[in-house]
Structure 1
Amino acid sequence: MKRFSWRQILAWGRPALGVVLLFVFIGGVWVGTATADLYIPRPGRGPLPLLDEAWNLVTAEYYGNLPPASVRFRGAIRGLLETLEDPYTVLLDPAPAQQEQQRLSGRYGGIGVSLWWAETGVIALTPNENGPAARAGVRPGDRLLAIDGVRLQASETLEAVAARLEGEVGSAVMLTLRREGTSDEITLTLTREETMQPSTEWRMVEGTDDVGYLRIQLFTTQTPDEVPQAVRELLQKGAHALVLDLRGNGGGMLADLNVIAGVFLPAGATVYYDVTETEEHEVQASGDPLFTGPLVVLVDGGTASTSEILAAALRDHGRALLIGAQTYGKSSIQALYPLPDGSMLHVTHAVWLTPARVRLDGVGLLPDVPAEPRPGADAALEAALTCFQAGECRR
């Protein structure tokens, strides 16, 4: 069996069902080989006589139609995996497996925009250059009022709104917008395309001239390149303090996290410990830090796995305060194995420890500054700005 390379080892923040739902609701395509005719060996021809006997009884006595062999075999695999009592060692069917690969590569059916809170309860858009939204006439700063005629609610999160914008490639979506500085509403109909979605978004915080904002939505193959680029651009715009937003980030690719951490930590600083059944490996930050100013990290219950590793490393080394709510708490690492029918096997092969050698399973990280979410406002970001203004964000 060919094992995925280290760059394809994941640290996801929720059990597989949560991962699949993430792709359904929030969202290089990898495609498996043609479906194989999977089967259970006949008695005397395989190593599983008990299973053979049980299945032969079923085939002889069952009243009704049997599902295809591939479906039956996946069911058998899932039954075996359930005995491990590990919610992260799972089998994904071909369609969710392909969605996972699309998500991690940054490809999805969408319109090519980033969302951000422009003011209390109002979401603004920034179109990706040459994306469907930009070509249709969406301008930076346009306020999003409705999607397909359904008005946005003040209680909706950015993630929920993003989910409404995504869909099947080729499908249409209608946006109701208000141009910045006007009261007139306009309607645009866009066609969703296969879009390369950046894993990050960044900007200067509105109402400030020296606070940058960097959000990592998911750790994908693009993130190690995007984070340094974002920090350089924010520094050029005059950022002296930085908000790193990891809320709702359920993890993703663990490879090259040392590069991302190295943007904020000195070379050689411990990012995490990778512990398998037989060995322990210390992962260290690499490169020279690009940003050494005041830093806060926004976290919540959706901050999990890879994002928890980064948040813990920044706090353990005294680089950042955590603001928001308790994180999810997941310390296991999964390796991915593609199977011949296009399905994907996730196998827990290691756990990680924080630089302080803490395992976070079921515990998570407690914020230094709690900030409960409020409808139509960003309480955590407001707390971060207050922290900067008071000069309390250096530990």
Structure 2
Amino acid sequence: MVRASSWFGWILSLQVALFWCWGTPPAAAFTPEQQLVLQAWRTINQAYYDDSFNHQNWWLTRDRTLKQQIPTEEAAYQAITKMIASLDEPFTRLLRPEQYRSLQVNTAGELSGVGLQIGVKAGSKSIEVIAPIAGSPAAMAGILPRDIIVEIDATPTSELTLDTAAAKMRGATGTNVSLIVQTSDQSPREVILIRQKIELNPVTAKLHTENGRKIGYLRLAQFSAKAAQELGENITKLKQQGATGYILDLRNNPGGLVQAGVEIARQWLNEGTIVYTVDRRGAIDEIDATGTALTDAPLAVLVNEGTASASEILAGALQDNGRATLIGTKTFGKGLIQSLFDLPNGSGLAVTVAKYETPNHHDIHKLGITPDRVVPNSEITLESAATAEDTQYLAAVKELGNNS
């Protein structure tokens, strides 16, 4: 009886092994196009933050995809895009070579197009404005955070991915692009923008005198590769000019490089946790201050619904550690971390690998950060920021006066 059972088990094992071999050829048998798909699948399999892969059998998705006809590189890109779409999570995405190059240029501090940072609205597939870049054609046209982009050059955005929507708004300097934009429950309106090459100067710094007190005003537009260095240099310069308090303006800052946010937090904090990251295993990684603060002067931070991602990491770190008072309106709520991975032929993947939590373990994603003092947005232009017309700025000045 034991012998018969052993033979049965051996035959069953052989059948399973043969099925695996016949169903999925060895890696060496794949075409270059299939290898591209396989590398994308493997990268997501190893790095993606949700190990249920949106409650699906990710291995079965792999096998079904590889059994398709994938005769060209374009067909491979389409297969990868379809595979990623099954995750139903907009921030994990394929970046074709031109998109990957553009993203790398943007984080280096340059941007071409209309100056919009966009995302996918939670619970829908609508393309939503995270924030316009200060001074860009989009900002000058009055496009606001949370606006919905309904159409781009007569193409409904419901038919576009996040990256193809961004690509359609980019183009040669001086050319036009037509957007249908909807603000809240208002009727959609057409906005025609002229594309420009936008230099992202991440830091604006000025010394203000308010009620006899010297205040260093710092506006941070985006977390680019040079943001931390520039901000640090300006903090030091304002300190030398006699600043006894600071206002850090993160309004309409859509984020950027997480590492830049961490480095900037360390310029304000001597000790304490800056942020926790939580991966798919529930493992928590703690990123701390390193005793490198440039000043201990009182600090107020301005935030609004366009404050997102790395901006929220910085704001949360300063709030939870009691280092700053947050003033303004609730932040955007993008608390997922993406890493970039190279693929062959210059393409890449942006993969969500973890989520953020503030030092007090507040989950940022879809929830945002509520400021210590809620002050509604005032209808101001970029030129009016940090003036007597800016009620949030005036509230920050008052807060610093209370802390003197």
1:380 to 378, 392, 399: 392
Question: After superposition, what is the alpha-carbon deviation per residue over 1:207-263, rounded to whole angstroms, capped at 9, x for unaligned?
Answer: 665111111111122122112111011112221111111111122112254432122
Pick from 86, 95, 98 the counterpart of residue 95 of structure 1: 98
Residues 38 and 73 in structure 1, CA contact (< 8 A), matched pair in contact too: no
198, 203, 211: which one aligns with 1:200: 203
> Which structure is higher in helix share?
2
Which structure 2 residues correspond to residues 49-198 of structure 1 after superposition, within 5 A? Answer: 50-51=64-65, 54-55=68-69, 69-108=72-111, 197-198=200-201
Deviations 1:89-127 (A, max 9, x none): 1112222222211111113459xxxxxxxxxxxxxxxxx
Q: Which residue of 2 aligns with 1:341?
A: 345
In the TM superposition, what is the alpha-carbon distance from 1:354 to its structure 2 partner? 0.9
Alpha-carbon RMSD: 3.6
Among residues 296, 299, 305, which one is paired with 1:301 in the alignment? 305
SS class of match (1:351): strand
- Tell me the alpha carbon deviations over residues 38-95 of structure 1, each in whole angstroms, 9 at most, x when there is no partner: 6348xxxxx9664466548xxxxxxxxxxx9233221211111122222221112222
State the identity %: 31
Deviations 1:139-173 (A, max 9, x none): xxxxx9x99xxxx67x6779x9xxxxx9878769x
Q: Which has the larger Rg?
A: 2
Q: 3-state DSSP class of the match of 1:288? A: coil
Q: Find the aligned partners of 1:86 and 1:211 in 2 and give their Cα distance.
A: 42
Paired with 2:65 and 2:264, the residues of 1 have a C-alpha distance of 48
Q: Which moved more, 1:84-93 or 1:318-327?
A: 84-93
- Structure 2-normalised TM-score? 0.60
* Matching residue's letter, 1:340: P
- What is the TM-score when the length of structure 1 is the normalising length? 0.61
User: Is 2:249 aligned against 1:245?
Assistant: yes
Give, as a single letter, the amino acid of the residue that structure 2 aligns with 1:386: K
Looking at structure 1, the residues matched to 363 and 257 of structure 2 have their Cα atoms a distance apart, in angstroms, of 19
Deviation of 1:349 (Å): 1.3
Match of 1:263 in 2: 267
Cα distance in 2 for partners of 1:217, 1:80 equals 35
Q: Quick one: which of 366, 373, 385 aligns to 2:370?
A: 366
Report whether the alignment pairs 1:285 with 2:297: no
Residues 65 and 83, structure 2, Cα contact 8 Å, conserved in 1 = no
Q: Does 2:33 match 1:39?
A: yes
Partner of residue 272, structure 1:
275
* Contact 2:262–2:314 (CA under 8 A) maintained in structure 1: no
The change in CA–CA distance for 1:257 and 1:70 in structure 2 (over 3 A counts) is same
**Residue type matched to 2:338 in 1?**
Q
Over 3 Å counting, the alpha-carbon distance change for 1:332 and 1:156 in structure 2 is: closer
Determine the C-alpha separation between the residues in 2 that align with 1:373 and 1:282.
33
The residue type equivalent to 1:277 in the other structure is R
Residues in 2 aligned to 1:361 and 1:156: alpha-carbon distance in whole angstroms: 23
Q: What does residue 221 of structure 2 align with? A: 217
Write the mapping of 1:231-242 to structure 2, written as runs, cut at 5 A: 231-242=235-246
1:276: how far off? 2.0
Q: Does 1:320 align with 2:324?
A: yes
Per-residue deviation at 1:289? 1.8
Report 1 or 2 for greater relative contact order, CA contacts < 8 Å, sequence distance ≥ 6: 1
